[in-house]
Structure 1
Amino acid sequence: MDHGQNEPEPRRSGSFSRISSTHSSFRRHSFNRLGSSNYENDDDSVSEAGDIGDRELHSTRYSGSGGAMFSFDATRENVVLPIEEHPIKESQLPTASPTSPEYEECKKELPWFLTYISSRVHLAVLGILGVLTRYLLEKLFGPQVVGATGDHSYMYIDLPPNMVGSFLMGWFGSVFKGDISNFSPELAVGLTTGYLGSLTTFSGWNQKMLELSVDGHWVFSFLGFLLGLFLVAYSFIFGVETAKGFRWAFNRTKLSSKCALSQVNNIMSQVILIVVMVTILGLLWGVSVTLLKKDFNGDSSTSHLWFGCIVGPVGVWIRFYLAQLNGQGLGRTQIMKWLPFGTLIANVAAACIMAAFATLKKSVNDKHFDIVATGMQFGLCGCLSTVSTFIAEFEAMRASMHPWRAYVYAFTTVIISFTLGTLIFSVPVWNKGWS
């Protein structure tokens, strides 16, 4: 994030001044974070390291730099400090004529309903692409191809997608999120909340550990959680470090000044982008419905994928709304603001729904129901839960003034999800004697 973000800005009138006010409010709760712990994060702001829902879109759209939550600045090494507000006196601000090009450019805004549609469509499109990527990675590293993961191993089937998504979160959710936000805040949130959130899945991870424990493989279940957390955490760290190295090398080239992304302020450009994304969403849903109809009574191995692509965006949208709880705390006093309750609720809820469908699949012996239930697990639950945001928040807490909070957050998420999953899935399986 630029140092210039705290410098006096030209005076604006009318809607131009409102944009400046929104920029100021955004800077109050955003912060820079780099991988070192030489400087430490603000006590409460770490809970906003991942998603914050609509608050992030609204604040980023009209911020001068387009910087986003958890953004990095390659020119300030080892900084983990909250950005504080520096109020500017009216007497320090030069005036701008309402007829000036600067005023006319900055007052251009999409109507609220088009902004709303744009953000949700970005989330849906990139969420579906995340579901498809997760499916391909599961097949590639699963027993049928590479054989690195399996259903009866602590190297669970969703481990490769979770590692890849966490690595990419280091790139696009940390180091380059501010740059992407300069071009389009909706695209930045779509990439992190939509694509990376749907590429990774906490509910699938939790369910595989439940299935190991229900068969008596408690050691494998424990190792699956422990090894999984270690691998995704270091995937994220590796992503941050490689992205910082790439940015450093890129900034030393002459191309860096020519390839900077500028924010999409032109109304026509924004409308065209919305039309393109709506068209892509229609095509993705259309293809998924067509292929689901074709395979529903035949090949069940891919039917759940197409059903998952149809319902996946619903999971993304719910998680996006829940993200607004991050950084809000509990009650009027807002206690425990450091805990990202939105992400916690999304992951626990998805794990419980996943376990419930797994129980129903064992009690209902029907091929079509199995396709629908598996599709809901893969699409809705997979997109509602997230590992990439979870691990970004975990790492932000580890670099804060209270690193123990990271482990409290991780263990709370795992213990609650696994305990409720045991009650919903394991206990009925043991009682009924299902294999």
Structure 2
Amino acid sequence: MDYGHNDCEPRRSGSFSRISSTNSSFRRQSFNFNQSGANDDSDHLSVSEAGDIGDRALHSKRHSGNESGRPVFPFEENLVLPIQEHSFKESHLPTPSPSSPDAILHDKGQNQDCKKELPWFMTYISSRVHLAVLGILGVLTRYLLEKLFGPQVVGATSDNSYMYVDLPPNMIGSFLMGWFGVVFKGDISKFSPELAVGLTTGYLGSLTTFSGWNQKMLELSVNGQWVFSFLGFFLGLFLVAYSFIFGVETAKGVKWVFNKTNLNSKCGFELKNNIISESILIVLMITLLGLLWGVSIALLKRDFESDKSTSQLWLGCIVGPIGVWIRFYLAKFNGKGLGRQHIMKWMPFGTLIANVSASCIMATFATLKKAVKDEHFDIVATGIQFGLCGCLSTVSTFIAEFGAMRESVDPWKAYVYAFTTMIVSFVFGTFIYSVPVWAKSWS
């Protein structure tokens, strides 16, 4: 945002290849990383952080510099994105985007004279509660979509087809990531940064699941359906990628309509209601989290002996937030690279670790369910798979990072990242799940 002349009237700027310094604390601009001004290292760093950067900005703001950022997609050229200036004044690092969770939590994107921030501990509590609440809602939505498109209702997906049961949630979550993770996240953050992060990292990250996708392909391969397994990965990547692109394009159209109708809020109004509205929102979200956990525990106790399907869902709602929190913290490794030399900064290792580890845990419990023939154990194992593993892994962030890499100066890195995630997860899953099933001849 460009708040020149010390007033609260936003002024739009164009697309820049570098960060110019002005007297304002924050400014609006977008960054097209195909421009010649960006160096290779900053491009790598930015591409790796198209999704999440975890809790890093919480510390970087207190200590002197936000070292992260993400390039804006070329189709975002006309969008207005908030940035913080202090660490970019003398560098060529690209603009932090609303897709970076803590860049939203701590770089409010508002003139310091116009908007006050919550105390750090309230921001910390609020962000974690938002992640938990919206993560649970993501689990519930995923369950409903699986049932809706599954064999019992629509019949579009099946456990025995490359149209796997998690495909509709993954497609819808990727589509919504284009809306709330790219185009409108900056606008949502004006009201509540914690809500903006909760919607993307919490809700959409839990609505989509990479571990469930990988496990279904393992189950197809273990039964000898290798062609279906290959098609499941190939078509799955194609469908979620274009769902994300379609989401961005449609949201961009709606954004254009909003801009044409001049539906812009005034800074003075935000100042008047900021602390009060966010404090009320924190109380409401804490209350809602207590209710969701309380109801889930009560329903789990009721259905544990009688209804296997719903018991798994309620347990998934209880443990789901743990997966969201772990993934949020793992995201701090995005853009860090490997070793002291920080090689391969372009690879989002945080998301990669989250997806691979969740896939391995998912495969481990699938193997244990084959070995332990007990209905109660099956409920617990499936609940952990559906909730913890489903929320620890994500397709929405994965595909946002994939899309950013495809638009970078080295688009081949997108496919290296995607195939690395898929191949490593599948190979580990084969050793953990498929080999024991073949060795023991489990049905």
TM bucket by the smaller chain?
0.7 to 0.9
Instruction: Provide the C-alpha distance between the structure 2 equivalents of 1:366 and 1:248, rounded to a whole number of angstroms.
Output: 56
Give aligned-pair identity as a percent.
72
Structure 1 contact 56–69 (Cα < 8 Å) conserved: no
Aligned-pair distance for 1:268? 3.3
* Superposition map of 1:25-174 within 5 A: 32=31, 42-56=43-57, 69=70, 76-77=77-78, 85-86=88-89, 108-174=116-182
Instruction: Provide the C-alpha distance between the structure 2 equivalents of 1:319 and 1:262, rounded to a whole number of angstroms.
Output: 31
Query: Aligned with 2:44: secondary structure?
Result: coil
Aligned-pair distance for 1:120? 0.4
Aligned-pair distance for 1:183? 1.9
The amino acid of 2:304's aligned partner reads F
Aligned-pair distance for 1:110? 3.1
What residue is the counterpart of 1:185 in the other structure? 193
Aligned-pair distance for 1:434? 0.5
1:232-276 Cα offsets, whole Å, 9 max, x none, are 00000000000111111221114x135899479743333222111
Query: Aligned with 2:389: secondary structure?
Result: helix
Instruction: Provide the C-alpha distance between the structure 2 equivalents of 1:263 and 1:126, rounded to a whole number of angstroms.
Output: 26
1:413 aligns with 2:421: yes
Instruction: Provide the C-alpha distance between the structure 1 equivalents of 2:317 and 2:435, rounded to a whole number of angstroms.
Output: 31
Aligned-pair distance for 1:43? 3.3
Structure 1 residues 230 and 79: alpha-carbon distance in aligned structure 2, compared to 1, 3 A threshold: farther
Superposition RMSD in Å: 3.2
The amino acid of 1:8's aligned partner reads T
Structure 2 contact 162–232 (Cα < 8 Å) conserved: yes
Aligned-pair distance for 1:87? 5.3
Structure 1 residues 109 and 239: alpha-carbon distance in aligned structure 2, compared to 1, 3 A threshold: closer
Aligned-pair distance for 1:57? 6.2
Instruction: Provide the C-alpha distance between the structure 1 equivalents of 2:31 and 2:287, rounded to a whole number of angstroms.
Output: 36
What residue is the counterpart of 1:323 in the other structure? 331
1:215 aligns with 2:218: no
Instruction: Provide the C-alpha distance between the structure 1 equivalents of 2:132 and 2:157, rounded to a whole number of angstroms.
Output: 29
What residue is the counterpart of 2:345 in the other structure? 337
Structure 1 residues 33 and 354: alpha-carbon distance in aligned structure 2, compared to 1, 3 A threshold: farther
Aligned-pair distance for 1:76? 3.3
Instruction: Provide the C-alpha distance between the structure 1 equivalents of 2:442 and 2:272, rounded to a whole number of angstroms.
Output: 56
Structure 1 residues 144 and 217: alpha-carbon distance in aligned structure 2, compared to 1, 3 A threshold: same
Instruction: Provide the C-alpha distance between the structure 1 equivalents of 2:272 and 2:297, rounded to a whole number of angstroms.
Output: 33
Structure 1 residues 298 and 340: alpha-carbon distance in aligned structure 2, compared to 1, 3 A threshold: same
Instruction: Provide the C-alpha distance between the structure 1 equivalents of 2:313 and 2:238, rounded to a whole number of angstroms.
Output: 29
1:401 aligns with 2:409: yes
Instruction: Provide the C-alpha distance between the structure 2 equivalents of 1:337 and 1:123, rounded to a whole number of angstroms.
Output: 26
Instruction: Provide the C-alpha distance between the structure 1 equivalents of 2:265 and 2:78, rounded to a whole number of angstroms.
Output: 24
Instruction: State which of 372, 383, 386 in structure 2 corresponds to 1:378.
Output: 386
TM-score by length of 2: 0.82
The amino acid of 2:327's aligned partner reads R
What residue is the counterpart of 2:359 in the other structure? 351
Q: Which runs of 5+ in 1 are unaligned?
A: 11-19, 62-67, 89-101
Structure 1 contact 50–392 (Cα < 8 Å) conserved: yes
Structure 1 residues 127 and 70: alpha-carbon distance in aligned structure 2, compared to 1, 3 A threshold: farther
Instruction: Provide the C-alpha distance between the structure 2 equivalents of 1:369 and 1:236, rounded to a whole number of angstroms.
Output: 37
Instruction: Provide the C-alpha distance between the structure 2 equivalents of 1:338 and 1:124, rounded to a whole number of angstroms.
Output: 29
Aligned-pair distance for 1:103? 7.2
Structure 1 residues 277 and 150: alpha-carbon distance in aligned structure 2, compared to 1, 3 A threshold: same
Instruction: State which of 280, 289, 302 in structure 2 corresponds to 1:272.
Output: 280
1:107-136 Cα offsets, whole Å, 9 max, x none, are x44333222111100000000000000001
Query: With CA pairs under 8 Å and 6+ residues apart, which has the higher RCO, 1 or 2?
Result: 1
Structure 1 contact 43–401 (Cα < 8 Å) conserved: no
Instruction: Provide the C-alpha distance between the structure 1 equivalents of 2:422 and 2:332, rounded to a whole number of angstroms.
Output: 22
Structure 1 residues 257 and 103: alpha-carbon distance in aligned structure 2, compared to 1, 3 A threshold: closer
What residue is the counterpart of 1:64 in the other structure? none
Structure 1 contact 159–205 (Cα < 8 Å) conserved: yes
Structure 2 contact 174–244 (Cα < 8 Å) conserved: yes
Aligned-pair distance for 1:350? 0.2
Instruction: State which of 283, 307, 310 in structure 2 corresponds to 1:299.
Output: 307
1:19-77 Cα offsets, whole Å, 9 max, x none, are x5xx69xx9xx96469xx7889923310010000123567899xxxxxx8566798834
What residue is the counterpart of 1:91 in the other structure? none
Structure 2 contact 363–429 (Cα < 8 Å) conserved: yes
Structure 2 contact 333–349 (Cα < 8 Å) conserved: yes
Instruction: Provide the C-alpha distance between the structure 1 equivalents of 2:257 and 2:112, rounded to a whole number of angstroms.
Output: 36
Instruction: Provide the C-alpha distance between the structure 1 equivalents of 2:79 and 2:120, rounded to a whole number of angstroms.
Output: 38
Instruction: State which of 22, 29, 40 in structure 2 corresponds to 1:8.
Output: 22
Instruction: Provide the C-alpha distance between the structure 2 equivalents of 1:150 and 1:137, rounded to a whole number of angstroms.
Output: 13
1:174-203 Cα offsets, whole Å, 9 max, x none, are 111111122222111111100000000000
Structure 1 residues 147 and 334: alpha-carbon distance in aligned structure 2, compared to 1, 3 A threshold: same
What residue is the counterpart of 1:13 in the other structure? none
The amino acid of 1:235's aligned partner reads S
Structure 1 residues 155 and 31: alpha-carbon distance in aligned structure 2, compared to 1, 3 A threshold: same
Structure 1 residues 71 and 405: alpha-carbon distance in aligned structure 2, compared to 1, 3 A threshold: closer
Query: Aligned with 1:280: secondary structure?
Result: helix
